[in-house]
Amino acid sequence: MLGGMLTATTATHCPYCALQCGMNLRPVGDGVEVVERTDFPVNRGALCGKGRTAPAVLSSRVRLDGPLVRRPATGRLEPATWEEALRTVADGLRGTREEYGADAVGVFGGGGLTNEKAYTLGKFARLVLGTSQIDYNGRFCMSSAAAAHQRAFGLDRGLPFPLEDIPRTGCVILVGSNLAETMPPALRYLTELKANGGRLIVVDPRRTRTAEQADLHLAPRPGTDLALALGLLHLVVAEGRTDEEFIESRTTGWAEARAAAMSHWPAQVERITGVPVPQLREAAAMFCDAPEGMVLTARGPEQQSKGTDTVGAWINLCLATGRAGRPLSGYGCLTGQGNGQGGREHGQKADQLPGYRKLDDPAARAHVAGVWGVDPNTLPGPGRSAYELLDALGTDIKALLLMGSNPVVSAPRAAHIQERIESLDFLAVADVVLSETAALADVVLPVTQWAEETGTLTNLEGRVLLRRRAVDPPEGVRTDLEVLNALAALLGWEKGFATDPEEVFDELRRASAGGPADYAGISYRRIAEEDGVFWPCPEPGHPGTPRLFLERFATPDGRARFVPVTHRAAGEETDAAYPVVLTTGRVVSQYQSGAQTRRVDELNAAAPGPFVELHPRLAGRLGVAEGEPVAVVSRRGRAVAPARITTGIRPDTVFMPFHWAGEGRANTLTNPALDPTSRMPEFKVCAVRLEAVRPQAGPAPQAGVVPEEDPAPRAGTAPQAAPPVGGGPAVSGGPAVGGG
């Protein structure tokens, strides 16, 4: 059963990815059903299976409907009143602060929180708790692209143009994105591009459903995207295809960037990436021969310990060819999480204040403090980034308030992060479902979800949208704004934390006014009337800004900046002990840590569990057949999942989706090596070895393997590891597979 029903059909948006597809919710029986909303321009009625089945998570069969408190007598989470639960949270946070200081209390948010929630959470952390220790899981999403945007253009917005421009350009290079599975409704923009005569180049170590659509598929070894971009720029320069007029009139720093690129000659790039020189030349020609062009990146090049430089190299390619700051041309990032863009603009990140202001900027501090009615000197400074914050749990950070995230599944080196979470003195989690992280909490606060609340989100285009309430929440559930309001009051802040989302948004508008992400001219009414408003929008009469940089870039001199970058190795290279590269990603029927989608029967039927995708050559060396269990072992741990054998992946690479907990948890393996600028962990590249798992009585896994987390054997048997797959050219240095 759902909570109380509203009677009319409601125009709203999907709760999942950053497309924020439009949908209508219509009452039916004791629930709601999704109906096409063809007038919304982003998806024009199209929805993926996750969007179609989103109402299933509203069911009391799946979601939390009352607070839980861990009882000392039993050690179990048991039902509690809201009064007890909130008092327990307030006492835990207050006691920690009094004993250890304000920075002993951490706050961890989520990229799915509305702008109003993200704004209020950042304000709560900095005013009520006085802590600098706040970050969010959006740091794991597009922080490298954000840093590269800031460095090159002076402003970060995922796409500086609307999605509708993509089919009208001449050539798109899509780097490390599988839109067919991660954002299926967006694939139509690429099919329309091709129907219009445009060309598509896909860069991915796997021949994905998206790569199948490409005119040219480049399959580099994971972690070598930086060398690939530099090799293409080398060819552009060597073949005289640069746009010298654009470089001269609208950029700075070209000489240094050109010199850096010219040290990456094609034969060297082929050795590093595995992409043959003829394919490099074909890609450069295809991109430059088109009258306009775009480069779109996603998590593939970004989730690396050199992600900022990698994105910077692709931006340099755009600038050198005049594919930026012009109609139908440019660089863009395909943001992943539903509000990954807005979530970082308004105060969840460790170093930012609302409006995308920098926390260490005195003028920014003064402006926001003025809106909040406090002395700027009382605001804490920048804190730790997401992984560093999680890694400090139980040591420097003794208590944590977590909202809308599941790091037990989603964080790199996840077994270690689970241990850190378990070592906390106090953990409070506000969530919709009892996630793997919530199950470890001292207090769990059940909060409203997408269809039960109103709020704004900012999609990957920078379009601010209004997601409307269509269903009354269950009686035992409160909004995140109500939770923060109540906690603030218990901790001595009776005013300043509104519970009405429109009132919060109006305050956010004032706090963002004059900042890079200026929402001052956006209102709930405007959003409803205009199908969203693109920021920056500094005043009510302003039309919004769907296309950035057409006249000038957001730098002090108005020019884009080339940044010289050079290729360097991944944080962890393969060797004789760990000769295979693991890369991770998503599947179409699950989303992020799976906390919600794994509770939907239809989605589970389509994607019931983890798997290890590997090339037949690698499977043959290992001696495993389709569906047989394979252990993937890294320096951080061990995961086991069935083999999925395909020629659509490089022979030196394996792929695992990261949506599941338990023994198939891919992030048990991943490397937390951080990009020095963005602090993004290196999810996409780590060194592993493979072991066939033979069910038989005997000792546990192979001697000498000391994983951080070793799944317990089933009763009566233990998984016996076959000898690991070793090195050799066929495994660790094979050629690219599935090239164009």
Tens-place pLDDT, residues 358-410:
999 999 999 999 999 999 999 999 999 999 999 999 999 999 999 999 999 99
pLDDT (tens digit per residue) in 598-630 = 999 999 999 999 999 999 999 999 999 999 999
**Pair 386, 523 in one domain:** yes
Confidence of residue 694 (pLDDT cuts 50, 70, 90): confident
**Pair 358, 476 in one domain:** yes
pLDDT of residue 639 exceeding 60: yes
CB atoms within 10 A of CB 575: 11
Instruction: Give the DSSP letter of residue 304.
Output: S
CB atoms within 10 A of CB 46: 17
- CATH code for the domain of 642: 2.40.40.20
pLDDT of residue 7 exceeding 50: yes
**pLDDT for res 666:** 98
Backbone phi and psi for residue 396, each to the nearest 5 degrees, phi listed first: -75, -35
For residues 497 and 506, give the distance between their C-alpha atoms in angstroms, rounded to a whole number.
13
- CATH code for the domain of 380: 3.40.50.740
CA dihedral 545, 548, 551, 552 (to 10 degrees): 120
Buried-exposed string 474-498: b where 16+ CB fall within 10 A, e elsewhere: beebbbbbbbbbbbbebbebeebbb
**Pair 497, 388 in one domain:** yes
Among all chains, which residue has been given the structure tokens 């430059």? 288
pLDDT of residue 732 exceeding 90: no
What percent of the chain clears pLDDT 70, i.e. is strictly above it? 93
- CATH code for the domain of 310: 3.40.228.10
**Pair 76, 216 in one domain:** no
Tell me the chain's radius of gyration from C-alpha atoms. 25
In SS3 terms, 81-148 reads as: CHHHHHHHHHHHHHHHHHHHCHHHEEEEECCCCCHHHHHHHHHHHHHHHCCCCEEEHHHHCCHHHHHH
Please check whether residue 286 lies inside any domain of the structure: yes
- Looking at the DSSP bridge assignments, the partners of residue 561 are 252
CB atoms within 10 A of CB 610: 25
Q: Which two tokens stand for residue 106?
A: 């951490």
For residues 64 and 56, give the distance between their C-alpha atoms in angstroms, rounded to a whole number.
13
Q: Which two tokens stand for residue 617?
A: 């050559």
CB atoms within 10 A of CB 81: 12
**pLDDT for res 338:** 85
Instruction: Give the DSSP letter of residue 329.
Output: B
Segment 256-268 shows an average pLDDT of 97
Please check whether residue 570 lies inside any domain of the structure: no
**Pair 586, 641 in one domain:** yes
Please check whether residue 29 lies inside any domain of the structure: no
Q: Which domain holds residue 370?
A: 68-136+340-534
pLDDT of residue 740 exceeding 60: no
Please check whether residue 43 lies inside any domain of the structure: no
Among residues 302, 333, 364, which one ends one of the domains? Answer: 333
Please check whether residue 543 lies inside any domain of the structure: no
Contact status, residue 115 vs residue 513, Cβ threshold 8 Å: no
Backbone phi and psi for residue 317, each to the nearest 5 degrees, phi listed first: -60, -40
**pLDDT for res 29:** 83
Nearest to 651 by CA among 572, 738, 737, 739: 737
Q: How many domains does the chain have?
A: 3
Instruction: Judge residue 499's burial from the number of C-beta atoms within 10 Å of its C-beta, 0-12 exposed, 13-18 middle, 19 or more buried.
Output: middle
Contact status, residue 38 vs residue 406, Cβ threshold 8 Å: no
Please check whether residue 482 lies inside any domain of the structure: yes
**Pair 163, 85 in one domain:** no
Backbone phi and psi for residue 646, each to the nearest 5 degrees, phi listed first: -155, 145
Segment 1-6 shows an average pLDDT of 45
**pLDDT for res 695:** 73
**Beta-strand pair 637-645/612-614:** parallel
What percent of the chain clears pLDDT 90, i.e. is strictly above it? 89
**Pair 188, 255 in one domain:** yes
Contact status, residue 42 vs residue 21, Cβ threshold 8 Å: yes
Q: Is 618 helix (H, G, I), strand (E, B) or coil?
A: helix
CB atoms within 10 A of CB 195: 10
Q: Which two tokens stand for residue 170?
A: 């001449």
Segment 716-726 shows an average pLDDT of 37
pLDDT of residue 28 exceeding 80: yes
**Pair 348, 328 in one domain:** no
**Pair 391, 442 in one domain:** yes
pLDDT (tens digit per residue) in 319-339 = 999 999 999 999 999 988 889
**Pair 205, 351 in one domain:** no
Helix-strand-coil percent breakdown of the chain, rounded to 5? 35, 20, 45
Cα 656 to Cα 576, 580, 735: the distances in Å are 21, 13, 21
**pLDDT for res 696:** 63
Segment 492-501 shows an average pLDDT of 96
Instruction: Give the DSSP letter of residue 311.
Output: H
**pLDDT for res 712:** 31
Q: Name the residue type at position 317.
A: L
**Pair 595, 469 in one domain:** no
Segment 522-526 shows an average pLDDT of 97
pLDDT of residue 1 exceeding 60: no
Instruction: Give the DSSP letter of residue 301.
Output: H
Is the sign of the CA dihedral 19, 20, 23, 29 positive or negative? positive
Among residues 318, 333, 348, which one ends one of the domains? Answer: 333
Q: What is the pTM of this model?
A: 0.92
Instruction: Judge residue 22's burial from the number of C-beta atoms within 10 Å of its C-beta, 0-12 exposed, 13-18 middle, 19 or more buried.
Output: buried
**Pair 179, 123 in one domain:** no
Nearest to 468 by CA among 455, 477, 482: 455
pLDDT of residue 699 exceeding 90: no
Please check whether residue 10 lies inside any domain of the structure: no
Mean of per-residue pLDDT scores for the chain: 92
Segment 531-546 shows an average pLDDT of 97
Among residues 303, 333, 363, which one ends one of the domains? Answer: 333
Please check whether residue 611 lies inside any domain of the structure: yes
